[in-house]
Chain A
Amino acid sequence: MLQTRIIPCLLLKDDSLVKTVNFKKPAYIGDPVNTARIFNELEVDELTLLDISATSNKKKPNFKILAELANECFMPLAYGGGINDFEDAKKIFQIGIEKVIINSIAFSKPAFITELAEHFGNQAIVASIDVKKNMFGKYQVFSNSGTKKQKVDPVDWAQELEQLGAGEILLTAIHQEGTWMGFDINIIEKISNAVNIPVIANGGASSIEDIEKAVKQGNASAVSLGSMVVYQNKGMGVLVNFPDTEKLNKVLK
């Protein structure tokens, strides 16, 4: 049987790793390549790197850092941030990264997802959806690192992205991200049940219990961890770590 993937999600801003809270207040974590090297030694299932400054700074992906990362990491890698044309994606695959993550560009150029999927296969294309729950409890989709509201319903958008050729969905709850308050199980469940492709739950994890809930109640196929794997604990210092594999296996069985 397939094991549930637990995926550290690292955020790149300029040349440094940072960690945000609700997509704001980036705090310095460390050097991206050194940190990735630690996760490689911890033999994590997969690693995600998101460049949160590429799109807003209108910059290309940082191919130099990505190449160094691919040299050090012997697990599947996914990268998102500033991928706007076919050549960007092609370069990333050539470096040795097997998944590209697409978000903002999908709103203005949905056919881009199809183009990539047809050429590189659906399994190589991750569509990222950032959602925020407003004060009326309604979920709204945002692009451009949470700064631009999009007029789509999250469930409809997830289904459309699947239709376009995305092989996975990375679902991030902006209102939970970096808060250590647990996942938003409600939206994870809604999206997971609406599509046939794997959904990766992201935003809010603080414990193995949170991971268990996302998988068992939310039907997430995989779980992404941010603060939990770069801080010792809430409000404490930087410590690159990974939850105990035996405990994880026990609850995810």
Chain B
Amino acid sequence: MITIVDYGMGNLGSVFNMFKKIGVASKITSDLEEIKTATKLLLPGVGSFDKAIQRINTSKIKEVLDYKVLTEQTPILGICLGMQLLTNSSEEGIEKGLGYINASTKKFSSQDKKMKVPHMGWNLVHKSTKSKLTDGFIQESRFYFVHSYYVEVENQENSILKTNYGLEFDSAIQHENVYGAQFHPEKSHKFGMKLLENFSKI
């Protein structure tokens, strides 16, 4: 069972739909007791960094997440903004990130007018460090991205996928039980199904 954490921001319906399609049970919840008993967590997110962190803090979800992720070592997958929240900080805001992975979130700032921001559309990924999350990915795996900020890890071993958009950024990350994907697997056809299936088997 995958517990999709609802803190009031993000496309929860589509993540749930894709889990259903691949035959993995999931539930959407904001209930602290339910999150406490989760065996696997999914942190979605669309919107701004500070707003998301503030909601996670005020709803007391943060304390539960900290305990689950840091003490119980429950696997967690952050998607899009959800992945950025796992890092230490973001240039989008002033709030502190959850800090489950030693990385920071930066703004795309290309001088090239063709490199429009947000980075929106399908792009390729290539593997850096090996991870269970990216098991069985084919060479041409492509994913749907929508983001104006990107993640940069401190230690290269935490980068599991990289993508090029004017610069090379970390499009998927991992540190022990903490996983993140910048793209939207739930909107990336069979490529995304593979990733979510991999996560369900971790």
Majority-rule SS of A interface residues = loop
> What are the residues of chain A within 8 A of B16 when measuring CB–CB?
96
Residue of A with least CB distance to B16:
A96
> What are the residues of chain A within 8 A of B118 when measuring CB–CB?
122-123, 167
- Encode contact with A along B154-186: 1 for CB under 8 Å, 0 otherwise: 000000000011000000000000000000101
Any B CB within 8 A of the CB of A146: no
The total of chain A residues at the interface (CB under 8 A) is 31
> What are the residues of chain A within 8 A of B48 when measuring CB–CB?
121
* A2→B165 contact, CB < 8 A: yes
What is B's interface to A at a CB cutoff of 8 Å? Answer: 11-14, 16-18, 20-21, 46-48, 113, 116, 118-123, 142, 144, 146, 164-165, 184, 186-190, 192-193
Any B CB within 8 A of the CB of A157: no
Which of A68-76, A135-143, A179-187 lies on the face that meets chain B? A68-76
The CA-CA distance from A123 to B13 in the complex, in Å, is 18
* B11→A75 contact, CB < 8 A: no
* A96→B13 contact, CB < 8 A: yes
Question: Could you list 4 further interchain pairs (A-B, Cβ under 8 angstroms) beyond the known A2-B121, A96-B17?
Answer: A74-B192, A76-B146, A94-B13, A95-B13
The CA-CA distance from A185 to B116 in the complex, in Å, is 21
**Given contact pairs A1-B164, A96-B11, A121-B46, A75 touches B188 in the complex (Cβ within 8 A):** yes
**Most-contacted residue by chain B among A1, A120, A197 (CB, 10 A):** A1
* B13→A70 contact, CB < 8 A: yes
> What are the residues of chain A within 8 A of B164 when measuring CB–CB?
1
CB proximity to B under 8 Å, residues A1-16 = 1-5
> What are the residues of chain A within 8 A of B18 when measuring CB–CB?
74
Candidates B11, B146, B184, B187; contact of A93 at CB < 8 Å: B11
Q: Closest CB of chain A to B148's CB: distance in Å?
A: 8
> What are the residues of chain B within 8 A of A2 when measuring CB–CB?
119-123, 165
The CA-CA distance from A98 to B16 in the complex, in Å, is 14
